[in-house]
Amino acid sequence: MDYKTLSAILGHYSVAFTMDTYVHSMDEHKRNEMNKMDDMFGVQYSISVENQPYPVLCTIIADGCIAHVPDFPKIAVHTPTLDAALLEVKQQIQKVLHQYKYPPIPTRQEQIDVPDNSVLVLVKAG
């Protein structure tokens, strides 16, 4: 479906609003486009994630804390405390980052829906 039609169906006042709300640039697409620029201009572009914090959603439950990292779907921990969850998540992020040639760019916190019973914490892996 084209963006203008989708915007009209959703009742949005502009296509730009629809695009800003629902369309997110994916890391792989960014890299592909940067590779095209490299081919075209002979300049190599890169996306650095060094020292950028990754968002972590933490939910306090009766027997502790569940934490997961939206940018790394396989990282999810269940620990007795929030502190323990954040420490475990940080260690897992560090481990996973070493496995990526091109690690994912951290999702901006305003793009993450935080449930009522959860908090969003930014964790620097470096």
Looking at residue 89, its pLDDT comes to: 93
- Give the per-residue pLDDT at 117: 86
- The CATH code belonging to domain 53-124 is 3.30.160.250
Question: Which tens digit of pLDDT belongs to each residue from 37-88?
Answer: 666 666 555 555 567 889 999 998 999 999 999 988 899 999 999 999 999 9
In whole angstroms, give the CA distance from residue 45 to residue 28.
14
SS3 for the chain, per residue? Answer: CCHHHHHHHHCCCCHHHHHHHHCCCCHHHHHHHHHHHHHHHCCCCCCCCCCCEEEEEEEEECCEEEEEECCEEEEEEEECCHHHHHHHHHHHHHHHHCCCCCCCCCCCHHHCCCCCCEEEEEEECC
For CATH 3.30.160.250, the residue range(s) in the chain are 53-124
Q: What is the pLDDT of residue 107?
A: 86
Q: What confidence score (pLDDT) does residue 11 get?
A: 85
